[in-house]
Amino acid sequence: MRAKVTEQGVVIPKRMLPDVEEVEIRAENGTVLVRPVQTEDPILDLGSAPVECGAPDASERHDEYLYGGVDE
């Protein structure tokens, strides 16, 4: 696709950015990059769906369960 660059810049058709609310625009090595910005950090979802493992004290003794014992 080609687009005319005006004094205000260039318009990117919405169909090329479905469901995107915000983009990051940068110039890198002579290329203009347009990337969607993540609205939420995936790290915040950690622990939202815990796994049943049959060890009621796994949060306290996870090293022992993972590595087979811990030297104290």
pLDDT tens per residue, the chain (72 residues)?
999 999 999 999 999 999 999 999 999 999 999 999 987 888 888 878 777 788 888 888 888 888 886 665
Do the Cβ atoms of 25 and 32 come closer than 8 Å? yes
Strand partners, 25: 34
Beta-carbon contacts of 1 under 8 Å, excluding residues fewer than 6 positions away, are: 13, 16
Place of tokens 């169909």: 15
The residue range of the domain holding 2 is 1-39
d(CA 32, CA 4): 15
The answer to whether position 2 is within a domain reads yes
d(CA 25, CA 10): 12
Domain count, the chain: 1
The answer to whether position 33 is within a domain reads yes
The answer to whether position 28 is within a domain reads yes
